[in-house]
Structure 1
Amino acid sequence: MSVPTTVLVLASPGQGHVNPLMILSQRLVEYGCNIIFVNTESIHNKVITSMGNQEGGFTEQSRIKLVSIPDGLGPDADRSNLGELLDSIMKSMPAKLEKLIEDLRLKDGVTLSCIVIDVVVAWALEIARKIGIKGVLFYPSSATALALQHSIPKLIEDGIIDSNGLPITQKTFQLSPSFPPMDTTCIWWAKTYPLLHGNEIFNQFVHLMQTVEPPEWWLCNSTPDLEPGALSYTPKLLPIGPLLRSYEDDKERSLGQFWEEDLSCINWLDQQPHASVVYLAFGSSTLFDNKQFAELALGLELANRPFLWVVRQDSDSDSDYNNKVSLPNEFKGNQGKIVKWAPQQKVLSHPAIACFVSHCGWNSTIEGLSNGVPFLCWPYFADQFLNKTYICDALKVGLGFDSDETGLISHEEIKDKVDKVLKDGNIRSRAHVLKEKLLNNLKDGGTSSENLNKFVKWLNE
């Protein structure tokens, strides 16, 4: 009897990084693999807590084993400082990862066949090479974002960005003839967290591109019909998307979440008319000030439509990263439901959903597109601005919001855009056509299905 292939999956500490790697892990389990899923300790604890009383994913029978290693910061450190966190991880985690792999071999008798590595922690490729294990990179954002990252030297040479990665002028540029023209607002690393210095992140990317020797396999959550230009520009990138969660039943929670999903919203959606609900979710990092949060609430009230709104509660920390907002007194919210965290794939696939007000993180973008849902785009940082441009201008399946001279998106503007996107039959029609194209990739013979088959065959060699 053959021994199952065991794969170690190493995620960087972000919800948008853990999610697609967990879905990929579940796909590999379907192919007969065993998974050792490694998070930092702080993220591991969140994932365990979010499961509540549900034991799924943590039993001895499960083929996904969740383990953790320290990130090198103290228990009270502010992990919202991404530059500091990544620096600490790079200094302290390599030795700990090597020890974990050795302990798995000596104490548990586990021999790894491969390490699948989030590109943000690509230093782990060197550990894989050192101990003679196959190493694979996974890119959690769009292929277009990676193409831009690869083009940093060219962008500097062409006078598009300076040596700190910041746009020099507002202009349009083209990476290659196969790419649509882009403007400098697409340079996503210049739009990092408001609490961080952009060049910290930029320097990390430059270092990564200069020091990492490309592995044989580099996987991404995309499809050729979604990003043809970017995938031809970065031919080593292998699309295996869309990576979508599948559930056995409505009561099952998603493994890998940082907060417990409120499953009551599915019952609430069951009671709403077809294509009537405005769904709002802004991911794991977006912060609102009270004034903008109030305008959003009043905009929903003015739109006078059913809504499902995810309002994250980050009460586990006293840092500036907290989502400390309160609803205005005028807000009644009688037509809607507010939850702390939602099972997003279940929500977006529900027939009651009419549109998706989104921060445009790549996972949310893929989920919305794969369910044929029109977008209202509200990007917050980094590649979300690039994704918004793609959704609105290239794919034409959504609209953006216009802010006033103070940067505020007013409640009237919110109502206006909700009305516009719901009345636009062309947007909905294009969204449905794109959904079918994306899902065809997952069928037998589809590009992503074939790519994953090839990858698993290579794993088992």
Structure 2
Amino acid sequence: MGIPHFLAIPFLSTSHINPLIQFSNILAKHGCKVTFLNTEFNHKRAKNAAASQADNIDDHESSKMIRFVTLPDGLDPEDDRSDNLRVLRSVKKTMPSLLAKLIEDVNALDFENRISCILATFNMSWILEVGHKLGIKCAALFPFSAAGFISVQFIPKLIQDGIIDSDGNPTKSQEIQIAPNMPMMNPKHFLWCNFGKDFFNYIVQEMKTMELLAEWWLCNSTYDLEPGALSVSPRFLPIGPLMETDNNNNNKSSSFWKEDTTCLEWLDQQQPQSVVYVSFGSLAVMESNQFKELALALDLIDKPFLWVVRPGNNDDKNNVFPNEFHGNKGKTVSWVSQKKILNHPSISCFISHCGWNSIIEGVCGGVPFLCWPFSIDQFLDKTYICDVWKVGMELDRDQNGFISKEEIRMKVEQLLGDEGIRERSSKLKEATRKNVGEGGQSSKNIEKFVNWAK
């Protein structure tokens, strides 16, 4: 019998690609083969980013255990890929027949080690249907919190209990607890809200397929972080924190932008726990007046700062620095290796959009958070940080939804002066990291998953 061979297929955003590549690296270390499928468009973006860093992605892909392959997403090169529903529909229309042929071709190249398991991220459950028809085992990786996943699973009950209507809209303003020991949730912040009825219907169907065909629900989490949510279903298998370092070359293929490495040298010159790190991930777009207010706030704060201002994504017109902005206490960069930054001893706190991957990286760096959620699961993640783990604070908006420079300055000072938060951050870091050490729960779960695949 051959070794386990996984076909790993993420949704098209970096928040899905990164954790799946990190998990693929772990599977490779366990002696498994991985064929990692990216779209042609995303593969080209990653290649260009790697080339601009004098790095050749094809060299990385020569790894004996991980092979990268591509398929078209069905869109034209100039099409707007920020419209998630359009991308999802195009991929679902274009890829299934091509995927079956690709699996056939991959198996023909290595008959002894044919694809034995399909591993897809949420939003790509049609892939599980292809695998099921071909008699291949299926599992799903959910790149959000387990609690976020549970909220989707409980949609029928939420409708039945009158919490949301049949289009996914909240029926009244209230906080609810979906299951015992889970954080309180505001229905207006469920991850499908503000994306319309069509998207809501899409994820309802997505969940039905996941429940029917995915034997395991893997998540980048731990029992220490989410004991209540992870106890809801025996199919949950926490495998986090996924903290493969960027020294592993395969990770380079997940970055769509050139990483600034000079900021690490700059951080080396700063005092311990002195630098305010600011980053809002790969998707969040800040309105231009709010961007200018943040810039002025960083001037006000009597601390050095490292601010990631992401290129592209049609938001360049919003990222206009005000004339009054000096920025002489800090450094502004376009993209970084965030894990390296958050583990640097100079970092004092993390002003974050609260995306789950960023949360895990911040927790593993032992860094206190200042929460600035934008959409989807980020409000729930903020609840974990501020109310459950108590390792951060939230930035308060005024009646117009605006966060003032005075509010930012005041909260940074409060956060950095709170020894209790820093102490809890340090303890949470140790507890979370233990899971992937020898004998840790996530390490055991990964062994269990690999044995199942065999």
User: Hey, what does 1:451 align to over in structure 2?
Assistant: 445
Residues 318-329 of structure 1 mapped to structure 2, 5 A cutoff: 324-329=318-323
Q: Residue 171 of structure 1: SS of its match in structure 2?
A: coil
Shift of 1:63: 2.7
CA, structure 1 residues 432+85, in 2 after alignment: closer, same or farther (shift >3 Å)? same
CA distance in 1, matches of 2:178, 2:397: 29
Give 2:126's aligned amino acid. W
Give 2:378's aligned amino acid. Q
User: Hey, what does 1:420 align to over in structure 2?
Assistant: 414
Contact 2:182 2:226 in 1 (8 A): no
Shift of 1:8: 1.2
Residue identity (%): 46
User: Hey, what does 2:130 align to over in structure 1?
Assistant: 127
Contact 1:33 1:63 in 2 (8 A): yes
User: Hey, what does 2:98 align to over in structure 1?
Assistant: 96
> Are 1:116 and 2:113 an aligned pair?
no
Q: Which of 282, 294, 299 is the equivalent residue of 2:292? A: 294
CA distance in 1, matches of 2:443, 2:368: 26
Q: Which of 188, 197, 200 is the equivalent residue of 2:198? A: 200
Give 2:92's aligned amino acid. M
User: Hey, what does 1:346 align to over in structure 2?
Assistant: 340
CA distance in 2, matches of 1:204, 1:61: 36
User: Hey, what does 1:138 align to over in structure 2?
Assistant: 141
Give 1:55's aligned amino acid. N
User: Hey, what does 1:194 align to over in structure 2?
Assistant: none
CA distance in 2, matches of 1:361, 1:161: 24
Contact 1:397 1:430 in 2 (8 A): yes
CA distance in 2, matches of 1:111, 1:233: 34
Across the aligned residues of Structure 1 and Structure 2, the Cα RMSD in angstroms comes to 1.9
Shift of 1:142: 0.4
Give 2:201's aligned amino acid. N
Q: Residue 172 of structure 1: SS of its match in structure 2?
A: coil
Shift of 1:59: 4.6
Give the gaps of 5 or more residues in structure 1.
192-196
Q: Residue 16 of structure 2: SS of its match in structure 1?
A: helix
User: Hey, what does 1:15 align to over in structure 2?
Assistant: 14
User: Hey, what does 1:45 align to over in structure 2?
Assistant: 44
Q: Which of 44, 50, 68 is the equivalent residue of 1:66? A: 68
CA, structure 1 residues 61+285, in 2 after alignment: closer, same or farther (shift >3 Å)? closer
Q: Which of 160, 165, 168 is the equivalent residue of 1:162? A: 165
CA displacement, residues 4-35 of structure 1 (integer Å, 9 cap, x when unaligned): 43221101100100000010011111112222
CA distance in 2, matches of 1:209, 1:61: 34
Give 1:406's aligned amino acid. N
Give 2:45's aligned amino acid. K
CA distance in 2, matches of 1:245, 1:444: 15
Q: How many residues align?
A: 449
TM, length-normalised to structure 2: 0.94
CA, structure 1 residues 253+266, in 2 after alignment: closer, same or farther (shift >3 Å)? farther
CA distance in 2, matches of 1:297, 1:360: 19
Contact 1:80 1:321 in 2 (8 A): no
Residues 206-355 of structure 1 mapped to structure 2, 5 A cutoff: 206-212=204-210, 213-248=212-247, 254-314=252-312, 324-355=318-349
Shift of 1:454: 1.0
Residues 175-194 of structure 1 mapped to structure 2, 5 A cutoff: 175-191=178-194
User: Hey, what does 1:147 align to over in structure 2?
Assistant: 150
Contact 1:245 1:345 in 2 (8 A): no
Contact 2:354 2:378 in 1 (8 A): yes
Shift of 1:424: 0.7
CA displacement, residues 301-345 of structure 1 (integer Å, 9 cap, x when unaligned): 00021111100110xx7xx56564211111111111111101000
